[in-house]
Chains A and B, each alone.
Chain A
Amino acid sequence: MAEILAPADRALALRKAISEIEAGASRLPGITAFRHYPALPGSYQDFPPQLSPSLVEVLRARGIDRLYSHQRLAFERVEAGENVVVVTPTASGKTLCYNLPVLDAVLRSPETRALYLFPTKALSQDQLAELHAMIDELGADIRTFTYDGDTPQDARKAIRSRGHLVMTNPDMLHSGILPHHPKWVKLFENLRYIVIDEIHAYRGVFGSHLTNILRRLRRIAAFYGSQPQFICSSATIANPQELTEKLIEAPATLIDSNGAPRGEKYFLFYNPPVVNRELGIRRSYIHEARQLALSFLRRGLQTIVFATSRLNTEVLVTYLKDALEKEVTARDVVRGYRGGYLPEKRREIERGLREGSVLGVVSTNALELGIDIGNLDVAILAGYPGTIASTWQQAGRSGRRTGSSVAILVANSSPINQFVINHPDYFFSGSPEHGLINPDNLSILLDHVKCAAFELPFRDGESFGGEDLADILAFLEEHGLVHHSGGRWHWTSESYPADAVSLRSVSSDNFVVVDETASPRVVAEVDFTSAISTLHDKAIYIVEGQQYFVERFDYAERRATVRQCETDYFTDAITYTKVNILDRFDSTTMGGAIRSHGEVHVVSQVVGFKKIKFYTLENVGSGELTMPEQEMHTTGYWLTIPRQVLAGLEVTSEQKRDGVVGLANTLKTVAMLFLMCDRSDIGVAIGDNSQGVASVERGFKSPAGVSRHRQETAEIGPAYQPNIFLYDNYPGGIGFSEPLFRLHGKLLQESKRLIEGCPCQDGCPSCVGPVGEVGVKGKEVALSILERIEPS
C-alpha cells in the first residue's frame, strides 16, 4: 500500500512489524542482537530566573513550560563564563542549549555578536530557519544570516556590518572571513560566543584544521579586544570533553546528562546468511537491506536507509523505486540523498520527509548529522558505518520522544562488519571511539601559519600551536613569504594563502557533471578524490537512480560530460598504488621481522574499471584507463618480512605473494580498530624491499586487474623481501604511524587471533580477504608468516 500512515496507525503497524520479527527471531539465526530500550521519562527544571522575560514568553507560547535539566545546566554554565560541550542524543533539544544563552545575551546588549559554525552548509540553513522562527516570535531586532559560498555578493556587506548571529562553516571562516577581518570589525569587536555544533565531526584532518582555524580566530578576536566563549555540542563519543578542549585549546565543562524523555526503541543486528562456506560468501547485504526496507515501507512506515557509499545509495534507490513505484501511483515516494546533489534538491527532499510526502529515503552519512528531517519510524543501516558514534547517530534518525521506533544494522562481509555483528557486546556496552586530532601536523600547521601571517603580522615571541613558531617563520622567510622587520613578521607574497588550503580533501577542486542529453545542464558536483574514481571515461555515474554514461572526462577543465542511459550494470574503478620510502625515522628488528616508520611518497592511479551487473553482481567486463597520477608525501609504518622467512615456506612464489596480500588486509583491519579511525584514513600497500621500490595494487581485483597485475609481479625471486605499508592517507601524516610502530607486537598478535578465529576454510572477506583475491593458500600462508615473525 505504501501510503504514509497517521501517527496512531503507525505505532500499531510498527508494533506489529516488530512482534513478527521477534516471533521469528528464534528461527532466524541471522539476528545476532535484539535489544529493547524502554521509554524513559524526562527530567525537567524551571526556567533560570535570570532568563529574559520575553524569551520565557516565547517558550511558553510554544508550549514549553520548563526546560530539560541539561538545557538549564548549559544556560547556567555559559552564564558563569565557562566554555561548555553538551553531549546529548538526537532530538533532545540541544539547539536550545546554545540558542538560549546567545539570544538572551543579544536581548540584554544589542551590540553582542555570535558566530555559529556547522560542519556543512545544509546544517546552517536548517538552523537559520529555526532561529528565524524564534526571533520572529520574540519580535526583537536580532539579525541572523548565513554566510557561506551561496551568499550573494551584494548581500555580504550588510551581513558583515549588521548581522548579530552569523552562521557559517569552517571552510568559509577559513577562506572568506578571517582573511578579510578588517571588513568584520563590528563582529570581531563584539564577538562574545562561538557556537560549534556537531563537534564530533571534527576528527582527524578536518579537526586538525579546525583547531588551527580557531587559533587564527582567537588571534584576530584578541586584536579587536574580544575573548569569545565557546558553546559546543557533540554526539556520543568516548572523549567529547578532551576533543573539545583540544579543538578550542581551553578548558570546557562537560554536560552529558540528558534530561529529554525518550520513546521506546528496538535495536537489531542482522547478519545475512552464509551461502557458500568455502568462499565465506554471504547473501548480499544490499539485497537484505532492500527486503527489510520494503517490508516496512509497504506497511506505510517512514523509513531511512543508510548506505556506506554513494554508489550503494544509488543502487538501493534504484532497487526500492523499482519495487515500490510499480505498486503505487505516486512518484518520488522514495528518494536518494547524498553530497553531490544540488542544494535545492536536497532542501526539497528534507521538506518531503518532514511533511510526510516522502516515505522512504536512502542516504549516505550526509543525513547522519542533525539536519531536520523530522523523526522517522525505521532506520536501516546497510553496512556498519565504521564507528560506534556514527552508528548511534544513524540509528537515532528513527525515534521520537514518544512512541516506538526500530533500528536495524545489516552487516556486510567486510572484516569490521563481521567483527561487530558477531560481537554485539563490543558495540552495545563498549565505549565509542575517540576523536583524535593532530593540530600540529607540520603541513597543516605550516599552512595555517601562512594564513595567520597574512591576516595579522606575527610579533616576535608570539606562539602558534605546539611547534617553534620562530623556526617556522624563519623557514617561511627563506622562501620569501614573510619579511622580518621591526619585531614583526609581515606577509610578503602576492598569493592568498587560504585558497591553497582545503580543509576536507587533498585538493580543493571540484568537478562538475554536465548532462548533455538535451540542452546542457549541471546535474552534480563531485569532489576531486571521488571524481577520479567515479567520473572516468565510460563510467556509469548515478544520481538518484538515473544513470549517466560518462562520455568525456576533462581533467584540465574539471568537468565530466555525461548522457542519460539505461544499462544493467554499474562501474567500479581499479586503483594502483606505489609507495617509496624517503626516510626511516626508526627501524628495529622485533621477533622475526623488521618494523619501521618514516616518510613515504605515495603515488596512486586509477588504471581501469570493472562493469558489474545489477542484482547478480557478476563481473561483465572491464576496461583500461590512464588517469592522472595522484601524489602524496606522508608518513607511514611498515613491516618488512625478511627474505629467509619467505624462502623457508614450502609454497610457490605466487602463493607466498598471496599470503603477504592476505596479511596486509588483516593488518589494516586491526590497525583501524586500534586507531579508531575511518577506513579512508589509512592506506595499505605492499612493496618489494629488495628493489627499494614498492609496487602493488590496492582495492578490488578483477580478472583483468589480476592478470595484468600478476604479469607485472610474476618475478618473485629468492631476493623478494616485501614491505607491508600502512600509511596515513593525508599529506604530511596525521599521526597514526608512530603509534602503529609502537603497537607492532600487538598488531601482529591480534591479526593472528583474527585469522585463527575465522571459521572460513581458505580465507574470506572477514579475515585475509576472499579466495578470489588471495588464492586458495592465502589464509594458510598468512598464518605461517605470522607464526614466524611474531615477537615472543
Chain B
Amino acid sequence: MRTRDKLERQFPSPAPRESLYRLEREMLGQVAEEDGALSVKERLERLVAATHQAGAERRRQAQPVEVRRIVSLDEVLEGRRVENERGAFYQVEHRFPLDHWHGSVSLSRLKVVSPSAFSVLAKGDESLELDLTRAVFLDTETTGLSGGSGTAAFLIGLGYIQDESFVVRQLFMRDYPEEEAMLHELVTALGGFESLVTFNGKSFDLPLLESRLVLSRLRFALAELPHFDLLHPARSLWKARLESCRLTDLEYVLLDLERDEDVPGELIPSLYFDYLRTRDASRVFRVFTHNRYDIVSLAALTVRASEMLQEGVSPEHPIDDYSLGRLFERAALTERSILHYSRAVESGVSGKARRRSLRQLAQQLKRRQHWEECSSVWKELTSEDGPEAIEAIEELAKYLEHRQRDLAGALDHCRQAISRLEEDVRLPLAFRERWREAFRHRLRRLERLQGKRESKEGL
C-alpha cells in the first residue's frame, strides 16, 4: 500500500487540532483575551456559527468570477526587493523626521540622552554606556513563541538615527529561501552600530536570531554587541505603578498612545503562514505596521526611562521616586537612592510604597552610619501598619542597645513589638509567630543583661 493511502486511512479528517485552533482564531478574530471566560461549548458554538458563515463565503468564492483577489506586497507597502550576495529579500523603509512626536515624546530627545543613564538602568553594569545616536533598536516578528530551531523570524525591524531622521528599516523574507539574504543583511547592518536596544531581546529575539544564523551558516557574534534590554529596567521603574509592563501597556500610560486596529501578537504567525500559502498581502501588511510601531515606541520609552534618571527632574508620579530609589540602590548609588526615597516619603506616597520607601531609606542611612536620621526614619515607620513597622522596632531596639546603651529603651521596644504582634491580626500568622519568638528571645537576653548591669551597679 502506498504511504499516501496508509496516511489517509490512519489519519482521516478532521484536520489536526492545531489548525482548528488557527481556524478558530482567524474566524473569530481576537478571542484569545476572553477565551478563558468562555466554556468549551460556547467556543464551539461560536466557531460553528463562524464556520457556517465562512462556508457560505467559500461557496461564493468558489464561483470563478468571485475569486479572492491576490493583493501583492507592493500594493500595500512602499518597499522594494533588495539583493545581496546571499540572494534577495524585501525591504521597507520609513523615515520619521526627528521632530516627530511619538505620543508625548519627541524623537529629537534620542540625541540628548545621557549615556551613563543606561549603566544605572542595567543595575550598575558600567560597560553599558549607550550613545543612542549610535545604537540600533531591534524587534523581530516570528513564526511562533515556542523557541527551538523550528521558529523563524520572518520580519526584522531596525530603528536608528540617520541624517536627522529616525529610520525604521524592515527586512522581510517573502518565503523561506529569502531568509539567508535577509539575515546576511542584518549582520551587515548591525556591523554599523555600537550597540543594540531591545524589549525582551535577551531571552527571546537574540537567542532566536543566533539559532537562525547558525542554520543559515552565517557566523556573527551577536552576543558580543553591547545590548540594552529595556524589559527588566522597565519593570523596575514602573512595576510599582502599573499592573503590566507589556510594551503596549507602557505605551498607553507613558506615551499617551492608543493603537487602533493593531494586530494581536498571537495572530502574527498565522497571518504570515497565510501569506506564504496564498501570496496575498492584504492581511500580512498589518504586521509591518505593528512592528514599526513597536520599534518607535521602544525608542520613545527608552528616552522616557533614561530621562527619569536625570537629576532635578521630578517624576510624574510620587511612587516613581520609590522605584528610582530602588534602581539607584541596586546600582550602588546610595546618595541618589536616599534622595529619591526621601522624596517619595515627602511627596506623600501611601500604604505599602510609603512603608517600603521608609524602610529602604533607613537601610541606606544605616549603611552610611547616619544614625540620627536613621533612627528618626525608624520611629516614623513604627507609626505605620504592616510588617515593616515591626522590623523597624527591632532595628530601633538594636540601635538603642548597641549604640545608645539604653537597655531600658530597648526593652521597652521589645515589649511594644510583642504586644503589637499579639494584637495585630492583619499581619500574616506565620510572620507573627516567627517575630514574636524573636522578640521574646531578645527580651530575655536584654533582661539578663539588665540584671547583670544592675547587680554590678549595686556592688
Which residues does A use to contact B, with CB under 8 Å?
A: 179-183, 185, 442-443, 446, 453-457, 467-468, 471-472, 474-475, 479-481, 483, 485-486, 488, 490-498, 583, 599, 633, 732
The answer to whether residues A483 and B4 also contact, given A180-B148, A493-B18, A494-B145 and a CB cut-off of 8 A, is no
Are A495's CB and B214's CB within 8 A? no
User: A179-B149, A492-B276 given. 15 additional CB < 8 A pairs?
Assistant: A182-B215, A442-B6, A455-B149, A475-B7, A479-B19, A480-B18, A480-B19, A481-B16, A486-B177, A490-B176, A492-B273, A494-B145, A496-B146, A496-B150, A599-B9
Which residue on chain B has the smallest CB distance to residue A188? B214
Chain B residues near A474: list those with CB within 8 A.
4
Report 21 cross-chain contacts, Cβ distance below 8 Å, ordered by A residue: A182-B214, A182-B215, A442-B3, A442-B7, A446-B11, A454-B149, A468-B2, A468-B4, A475-B7, A480-B18, A480-B19, A480-B277, A481-B16, A483-B176, A485-B177, A490-B152, A491-B150, A492-B273, A496-B147, A496-B148, A583-B9
Chain A residues whose CB sits within 8 angstroms of the CB of B270 once the complex forms: 494
Q: Does B144 contact A (CB under 8 A)?
A: yes
Q: How far is the CB of B54 from chain A (nearest CB, A)?
A: 16
* A489 and chain B: residue at smallest CB distance: B176
The tally of residues in B whose CB lies under 8 Å from a CB in A reads 37
B273 x A480 contact (CB < 8 A): yes
**What 4 A-B pairs come out closest when comparing CB atoms?**
A454-B150, A486-B177, A494-B144, A182-B211
Partner of B143, one of A182, A446, A492, A732: A492
Mask for B265-276, Cβ within 8 A of A = 1, else 0? 000011001001
B210 touches A (CB below 8 Å): yes
Partner of A471, one of B3, B145, B150, B211: B3
In whole angstroms, how far apart are the Cα atoms of A497 and B6 in the complex?
A: 21
- Cα A495 to Cα B269 in complex, Å, equals 11
Q: Hey, which chain A residues are within 8 Å of B152, CB to CB? A: 490
Q: A443-B10, A483-B176, A492-B273 are in contact. Are A454 and B148 (CB under 8 A)?
A: yes
Partner of B215 from the list A456, A479, A483 (CB cut-off 8 Å) is A456
Tell whether B444 is near chain A: CB-to-CB under 8 Å. Answer: no
Q: Interface SS of chain B: helix, strand, loop or mixed?
A: helix
Most buried by B among A488, A490, A583: A490
A497 to B10 Cα, complex, angstroms: 19
Would you call B415 an interface residue if the criterion is a C-beta within 8 Å of the partner chain's C-beta atoms? Answer: no
Question: Is B19 a contact of A182 with CB atoms below 8 Å?
Answer: no
Interchain CB contact under 8 A, B144 and A493: yes
B22 within 8 A of A: yes
A472 to B146, Cβ gap below 8 A?
no
Complex: A10 Cα to B306 Cα, angstroms: 76
- Please determine whether B10 and A479 come into contact, CB atoms closer than 8 angstroms: no
> Quick check: A471 and B144 within 8 Å, CB to CB?
no
Q: Which of B214-240 contact A (CB under 8 A)?
A: 214-215
CA distance A169 to B172 in the complex (A): 39
B200 to chain A, nearest CB (A): 17
B280 at the interface (CB under 8 A from A): no
What's the nearest-Cβ distance from chain A to residue B145, in Å?
7
CB distance from A268 to the nearest CB of B (A): 48
| Minimum CB distance partner of B212 in chain A | A182
Closest CB of chain B to A601's CB: distance in Å?
A: 12
For residue A584, give the distance in angstroms from its CB to the closest CB of chain B: 12
Given A183-B211, A483-B277, A496-B150, A471-B19 contact (CB < 8 Å): no
Asked whether A732 and B10 contact (CB < 8 A) given A182-B210, A468-B4, A480-B19, the answer is: yes
**CB-based contact A494/B215 at 8 Å:** no
Q: Which residues of A contact B388 (CB under 8 A)?
A: none
Q: Once the chains are docked, how many angstroms separate the CA of A497 from the CA of B151?
A: 11
Question: Are B150 and A179 interface neighbours, CB within 8 A?
Answer: yes
Nearest CB on B from A718, distance (A): 35
Is there a chain A Cβ closer than 8 Å to B175's Cβ?
yes
Which of A179, A182, A471, A494: most chain B Cβ within 10 A?
A494
- Across the two chains, which residue of chain B brings its CB closest to A495? B18
Q: Which residues of B contact A455 (CB under 8 A)?
A: 148-150
Is B16 touching A479 in the complex (CB atoms < 8 A)? yes
Question: For the complex, what is the distance from the CA of A210 to the CA of B353, rounded to whole Å?
Answer: 56
Report yes or no: B269 in contact with A442, Cβ–Cβ below 8 A: no
| Complex Cα spacing A467 to B148, Å | 26
Residues 415-450 of chain B, each 1 if its beta carbon lies under 8 Å from chain A, else 0: 000000000000000000000000000000000000
Closest to A733 in B: B10
Note all chain B residues with C-beta closer than 8 A to A491: 143, 150
Q: How far is the CA of A23 from the CA of B263 in the complex (A)?
A: 86
Residues of B within 8 A of A633 (CB): 10
Q: Mark B142-175, 1 if CB is under 8 A from A, else 0.
A: 0111111110100000000000000000000001
- Rounded to whole angstroms, the CA-CA distance of A185 and B210 in the bound complex is 11
Q: Within 8 Å CB of A486, what residues of B?
A: 175-177
Q: Check B149–A456 contact: CB distance below 8 A.
A: yes
Note all chain B residues with C-beta closer than 8 A to A599: 9-10
B253 within 8 Å of A (CB atoms)? no
Bound Cα distance A472, B207 (Å)? 31
User: Which residue of B is nearest A598, CB measured?
Assistant: B9
**Taking the complex as formed, is B38 at the interface, i.e. its CB lies under 8 A from any CB of chain A?**
no
User: In the complex, what residues of A have CB within 8 A of residue B214's CB?
Assistant: 182, 185
B313 at the interface (CB under 8 A from A): no
Given contacts A457-B176, A483-B277, contact A494 B3 (CB under 8 A): no
Chain B residues in 8 Å Cβ range of A442 = 3, 6-7, 10
**Could you say which of A453, A456, A471, A488 contacts B7, with CB atoms under 8 Å apart?**
A471
Cα-based distance from A479 to B22 in the complex (angstroms):
11
Question: How many Å from the CB of B194 to the closest CB on chain A?
Answer: 26
Does chain A have a CB within 8 A of B15? yes
Nearest B residue to A457 via CB reads B176
Known: A483-B273, A493-B18. A180 touches B149 (CB 8 A): yes
Provide the bound-state CA to CA distance between A558 and B78, in Å.
Answer: 52
Q: State A485–B173 Cα separation when bound (angstroms).
A: 12
Q: Which partner residue on chain B sits nearest A467 by CB separation?
A: B3
A467 contacts across to B, CB distance below 8 A: 3, 6
Look across to chain A and name the residue whose beta carbon is closest to the beta carbon of B211.
A182
User: How far is A445 from B186 in the complex, measured between Cα atoms in Å?
Assistant: 37
Instruction: State the Cβ distance, B89 to closest chain A Cβ, in Å.
Output: 13
* Nearest neighbor of B266 in chain A, beta-carbon distance: A494
Q: Which of A180, A488, A492 has the most CB of B within 10 A?
A: A492
Considering only residues 250-303 of chain B, those with a C-beta below 8 Å from chain A are 269-270, 273, 276-277
- CB contacts (< 8 Å) of B150 on chain A: these are 179, 453-455, 491, 496-497
Contacts of B147 in A (CB 8 A): 180, 496
Bound together, the chains give a CA A399 to CA B215 distance in angstroms of 52
Q: Give the one of A181, A480, A491 with max B CB within 10 A.
A: A480
The residue in A182, A456, A481 that gathers the most chain B C-beta atoms within 10 A of its C-beta is A182
B187 to chain A, nearest CB (A): 16
When C-beta atoms are compared, the residue in chain B nearest to A634 turns out to be: B10
Chain A residue, CB-CB nearest to B1: A585
Question: Within residues 130 to 150 of chain B, which ones have a CB less than 8 A from any CB in chain A?
Answer: 143-150
Q: A179-B149, A486-B176, A488-B176 are known contacts. Are A495 and B144 too (CB-CB below 8 A)?
A: yes
Q: Are A468 and B273 in contact, with the CB atoms below 8 A?
A: no
Within 8 A of A (CB), among B11-57: 11, 15-16, 18-19, 22
Nearest CB to that of B148 among chain A residues? A179
Q: In the complex, A455 Cα to B215 Cα: how many Å?
A: 10
Residues of chain A within 8 A of B146, CB atoms compared: 494-496
Q: Do B15 and A472 touch (CB < 8 A)?
A: no
Complex Cα spacing A442 to B16, Å: 16
Minimum distance in angstroms from B1 CB to a CB of chain A = 9
Question: Once bound together, how far apart are the Cα atoms of A486 and B152, in whole Å?
Answer: 16
Q: How far is the CA of A83 from the CA of B416 in the complex (A)?
A: 77
Q: Which one of A185, A454, A485, A732 lies within 8 Å of B176 (CB-CB)?
A: A485
Contact check, A468 vs B148: say whether CB atoms are below 8 A apart: no
| Chain B residues whose C-beta falls within 8 Å of the C-beta of A185 in the assembled complex | 214
User: What is the minimal beta-carbon distance from B146 to any residue of chain A, in angstroms?
Assistant: 4
Query: Does the CB pair A472–B18 fall under 8 Å?
Result: no
- State the CA gap A182–B214 with chains docked (Å): 6
Interface centre among B15, B22, B273 (most CB of A within 10 A): B273
Contact A494 B175 (CB under 8 A): no
